[in-house]
Amino acid sequence: MNKQFLLITIIFVLQVTVYSQNGTISGKLTENQNGQQVPLPFANIFLEGTTMGSTSDFDGNFRFQAPSGNYTLMCSFMGYETFKRAVVLSPGGSLELTIEMKPEGVALEGVDVVAKVNRESELALVMEQKEATVSVERLGARELSRKGASNVAAGVKKMVGVSMIGNDQLFVRGMGDRYNSLMLNGLPLASPNPDKKIIPLDIFPSEIVQNIGLSKVFDVQNYASYAGANIDIVTKDYAEEPFMEIKIGTGFNTLALNKTFKSATSPASNVESFFGVGAKNRYNAMPEDFKQITITPNKYYTEDPYGSSFAYKTTEGKPELSLGITGGRTFKLRNDQKLGTLFTVAFDNKYETVTGYDNILNAQGGINSSYDYQKYTYETNLTGLANLAYLINPKHSIKYNFLLINSSEDRFKVKEGKSAEGDIRTINNYRMRIYRLYNSQLIGDHQLGGHLSLEWKSSYSIAYSTEPDRRTMTYERDVDESYFTLYTLDQQGSMRYFNEFNEKEINGGAKLKYILSEKNEIKKSWIHVGVDGRKKDRDFKANKSYYTLDALTNDSINPSNPTDLLNDQNFVDSLIQLKNFSIKEDQYDANFTTLAGFADYVNTFGAFTMDLGIRWEYFFMESNFLYGGVKYGKIKVPAGIYPSVNLKYSLNEKMNLRFGASRTVTYPSFTEFAPLLYSEYGELSSIGNPELTTGFNNNVDIKWELFPNPGDLVSVNLFGKLLQDPIEKTAITVAGDQGYSYQNTEDGLVGGIEIDAKKKWNQFFGGLNFSYIYSHIKLPESSANTTKERELQGASPILINADLGYLFKFGLDDKNEISASFVYNYYSKRLFAVGVSGRGDIYENAFHTLDFVAKSNINEKWEIGFKARNLFDQNIEFIQEYFDANNIKGEKSIEKYNKGQSLSMSVTYNF
C-alpha cells in the first residue's frame, strides 16, 4: 500500500514540474455599466481548438498555463459577443490582457442582467472559498461524481478532517455526533435516527445534491451548537434550460452475488420488501393487547399471533439496481416573471454479506465468549426531490423545496460459538429498520432598495423510524452433545421487539443585510442582523414480548428449521406462551425550543477583512419519562452569548491568511439525556443519563490559502479547541453486564493541522488532503472506565484522502470525453469503545480503501459510468487491550471481517 501511495505522489510531483515549464496567460474581463468598467465573473476563456482554458473569478480575473505556440484566444459568456484575439506564447513567457466584453445586440436601459452561478462546479466553489469572509469548504456535484460518491456520506468523508464509522457516525476533527450539526439549504433537519443528532448521511443520494458545505469555524448566522463542523447540504436548484435525463444502473458485491443469502419472513408483500416499505403491515401484525404499555402474565394462544415465524428464507444474492429520473425547465410568465422547476426521483438497493468473528475478553485477556457470525443485509433508498422557484423580478424571488426519503435496512444475523457459560449457542437475530424523512422549505430573497436586502427561511420536517418486529431466538447445546435445545435461562434470548419513533421540527429565520459602504472593491462594509427559531417534538415508544418455552426445553431443535418446535400446534397444545413486557420506561416524549438573535459587522479595507459577530441563544429541553419510578426531567439553559471573530488578510491576489476564534455550546441529545434502556441480545446495552448538563467549547483556527490558478488550491490550517464539561460515552454496568451511558467529564483538548491541495495540469487532475488530530479527555475517578485519560472516541490521529485522474477528450471539437480516476482513503487506528471494570479499551485498526471511477459521454445523449469500490478489500479489525496476571500489557483481536469489493455500471440518457 505504501508503495502504491508513493507512486501516486511521485506522478503528482512530476506532472507539476512539467506543467511549470509552460507559458502563462492571465488577465481580467470587464463590461461597461453606466460608463464604468466592472468585473465580469464566470466567463469562459480558452484557446481555440484545445482543451486549455479557465473561467473568470468573482473579480473578473483569469489565469492558466499552456505550451508555447500560436493560438486564438476566445472569451465567451451567455448574452455577450464572443471575443477572439490571436496570441503568441513563448516558453516560460507570460501574457496579461484586459478584455472588455460587449453585450449582444442593443442594451436595454433599466434591464438588470443576472448571472446564475453554477455552484456544482469545482471552479466556482473554489473561487467562492477564496472570496468568502468566513472560511468554508465545499464539495460540488461534479467532484462528487468524479470521486464516485453515490451519497453524501461517501462524499463528506473525502473532505479534509472528516472520518466516519460506517455511514451513520460522523467525526470532524475527531469530534463525534454531538459536536456537529446538519443543515439542508441552510435550515436544520429533524433526524429519523433516535440515537443520532446527525441524520445518517448515506440516505441522501448524490443525485439530489448541488454541493456540500463544511464550516469548521463558527459563523453567528448558524446555531451555536457545534464545535466540529456545520454541514450544509445544498440541493439542486431549478433548471433554466429544459432538460430531462434517465439513469439506470446495476452492480454487485463480490461476497453477495450468487452466494447464499438469508432473510427473515415477513407479512409485507414482495413489492413492499423490495422497495423497503410496509412497516405498518409488520406493526399491525402485533396483537392488540400487546400494543399496550403494560406487563401481562403468560398468555396462551392457539397460534403464533404475529403472522411471522422464526424461520428464515435462503436465496441467493442478486444484482443491485439503481434507477433515476431528473428533469426541469423554466416557464416565462407575465411581466418578465419566471417559474423555475426541477424534480428528481431515485431508487437504489444493495445486497451485502459479511462473515466474521466476535469475541469478548475478560480483564486478563482470556476469552469469555467466542462467536463466528454471518450477517446478511438488504438495503434500499427511495428519494424524491421537487424544487419550485418563483422569480418575481431580478430583485425578488421565492423558492419552495420538498424532499422525501425512505431508507431501509433488512438484516439477518446468525452467531454461532461458545458462550461465557461454556455451552455452544446459536443466536438468530432478525432486524428491519426503516428511516423516513419529509421536509418542506420556503425561502425568500428580496432586494428592498438602496442598500437593504432581506432573506427569510422556513421549514417543516417530519422524521419517522421504526424497528417493526425485531426477533431473537437462542439455541444451546453442551460441548459433548450434537443436538440443540431452546435456550430458556434468559428471557432476552427469545423475544420480539417493536419501536416507533416520530419527530417533528419547525424552523424559521430572517436576516437583514445593510451595506454601510461600497465605494469600491478595496473599501466596503456591511452588517447582518437576524433572528432564528426552532421547535422540535419527539415521541418514542417500544413494545416487547417474551416467549415462555420451558415446556420444550428438553426437545431437540434444528436452528436452521425452528418450526419443528416453534409452530402453531405447540401453541394449541399450550406448550408455548407469550408475555407482554412493555413498560413505561420504554417510552418517552420530548421537545426542545431554541430561540436566537445575531448580528455581525463586516468591514473590508485594503487587503484586510474583519467579521465581528455575536449570537444570543436560548435553549430549553423537556423530556417526559419514568426511571426507577421517578419522573424526569427538564434542561433549561440560561440564554448564552456566543461571540465570533473572523479575520482575512489577502497577502496578494492569490493568497489569504485567515484567523477565527469563537465560543460555542454542546447540548445533550434526547437519547443521551433520557434513561431509556436499549438492548439487543448479544450486543452492548445503552442507557441515557438525566443528570447531564451542557458543555462549552472555545475554538481557534489559523489558515493559510493559496489559489495558484482558477480551480487550484493549497491550504494549511492549524486549529485548537478547549472543551469545558464535554459529554462523553462512558462504560458502565447495565443489568449486570457491560454497557454504556453518558456523562460530563473534565476539560478536554483537541488540536491539529489540516493540509488540502487540488490541482489540474493539462489532462491530469488530482487532490490530496492530510489531517493530524490530537485529542485528550480526562474522565472522573468515579467512573467505571478502565482508562481515566484517553483520546476522543472515534478520533483517528491521521486521515489521508487522495485522488488522481485523467481526462481524455475526443470527437468533433472535443465535445466527447472519458475521465478515469483512482480515489484513496486512509484512517489510522482509533478508539472504538471504552473498557469497563478492568477490561481494556477497544480499538479499530488502521484502514485503507482504493476506488476506481470512470465515465464517458459517448455523445450529447448518452453517458456511461463504471465504479469499482474497495479494491484492497482489507479486513476491518477490532482489538482489545488487556493486562495479564503479571500486569504486562497486551492486545488481542476480538472482531474481524471484510466487506468485499463492489462493481457497478450505469447508463444515462439525456433527452
- Residues 621, 592 contacting (CB under 8 angstroms): yes
Of 521, 512, 529, the C-alpha closest to 450 is 512
Of 310, 263, 313, 307, the C-alpha closest to 285 is 307
Q: What is the DSSP string of 646-666?
A: EEEEEEETTEEEEEEEEEEEE
Q: What is the per-residue pLDDT across 77-103, written as a single tens digit (0 to 9) for each?
A: 766 778 888 888 888 788 888 898 887
Cell of 876: 476491518
Q: What is the pLDDT of residue 698?
A: 96
Q: What is the pLDDT of residue 1?
A: 46
Q: What is the DSSP string of 495-516?
A: EEEEEEEEEEEEEEEEEEEEEE
**103 CA to centre of own chain:** 43
**851 CA to centre of own chain:** 19
- Compute the distance between CA of residue 20 and CA of residue 66 in angstroms, rounded to an integer: 10
Q: What is the pLDDT of residue 879?
A: 94
Cell of 675: 434513561
- Compute the distance between CA of residue 661 and CA of residue 655 in angstroms, rounded to an integer: 21
Query: pTM for the whole thing?
Result: 0.83
First and final C-alpha spacing in the chain: 43
Domains and CATH numbers, the chain: 2-100 (2.60.40.1120), 271-541+583-910 (2.40.170.20)
Cell of 521: 472593491
The residues pairing with 541 across neighbouring beta strands, listed in sequence order, are 500, 587
- 519: alpha, beta or left, given left = phi > 0 and alpha = psi -120 to 50? alpha
- Compute the distance between CA of residue 669 and CA of residue 666 in angstroms, rounded to an integer: 9
Of 682, 796, 668, 673, the C-alpha closest to 739 is 682
Residues of the chain with pLDDT under 70: 1-21, 33-36, 51, 58, 78-79, 104-118, 167, 279-283, 295-296, 518-523, 626-635, 677-684, 731-739, 782-784, 812-814
List for the chain the helix, strand, coil content (%; round to 5): 10, 60, 30
Q: How far is CA 157 from CA 56, 711, 798, 802, 897, in A?
A: 30, 21, 13, 12, 21
Q: How far is CA 18 from CA 89, 649, 763, 764, in A?
A: 17, 32, 13, 12
- Compute the distance between CA of residue 838 and CA of residue 362 in angstroms, rounded to an integer: 8
